[in-house]
Amino acid sequence: MRILLVEDDPILGNGIEVGLKQAGFAVDWAQDGRSAQLALETTAYELVVLDLGLPRVTGMDLLRQLRTRGSDVPVLVLTARDTVRDRVAGLDAGADDYLVKPFDLAELVARIRALSRRAHGRSVDAIRYRDLVLVPDSLTVTRGAETITLSGRECAILTDLLEHRGTALSRARLEESLYGWNEEVESNAVEVHIHNLRRKLGNELIKTIRGVGYLIPRDTG
């Protein structure tokens, strides 16, 4: 999952960026509202973590702009403003969740995962497909009595394909969800991850659509 972090405090922002990457997310970090606007105009994010007290363009204005143009990307607001009135204003402006500073990183990660599940119509973390059960939080897949451990990026690709089953995802689309701005992408990175997934889970699960990308079929059973 690729996340846009919008936070102007360099120490806090760096800590959040490192923590979210360790949790398996691809993170782009914008340190002011205008940079965030440009990022949102050019990149499809699956979630935004948004501070309200930003220079150049405020977080509240950025949130209103997102909703005015019809974007339904989940937005988790981070703020030091802890009054009920401020929280209500943020939620009314279109925020999906609200976390008051200071906060525990584990709670932030849990709330991000909960928003992602909600966005994909799931109430629990497990994703079921035929005889396979993927638990992204633990980087594991179970098939019957067998438990298979995945790397963070293998898990991210499998999650993406399962959440969009029936739709072919291009290599570029998968790369966008795996790597942030400052991460170098090797030319065959996606192919290597797909190869490893097939080795662990069998060649029949992920189909190659020549000239288009990769697909997990819809479960018609």
| CA–CA dist 146, 111 (Å, integer) | 29
pLDDT of amino acid 124: 66
Q: DSSP class of residue 193?
A: H
Per-domain residue ranges of the chain: 2-119, 127-215
127-215: which CATH architecture? Orthogonal Bundle (1.10)
Give pLDDT, residue 221.
Answer: 52
pLDDT score at 91: 77
**What was the pLDDT predicted at 182?**
67
Q: What is the pTM of this model?
A: 0.74
Q: What is the pLDDT of residue 122?
A: 67
Confidence (pLDDT) at 130: 87
What are the residue ranges in the chain where pLDDT is below 70?
82-83, 122-124, 181-183, 185, 220-221
Beta-carbon-side half-sphere exposure of residue 175 (alpha carbons within 13 Å):
15
**Which CATH fold would you assign to the domain 2-119?**
Rossmann fold (3.40.50)
Q: How far is CA 38 from CA 31, 35, 64, in A?
A: 12, 5, 15
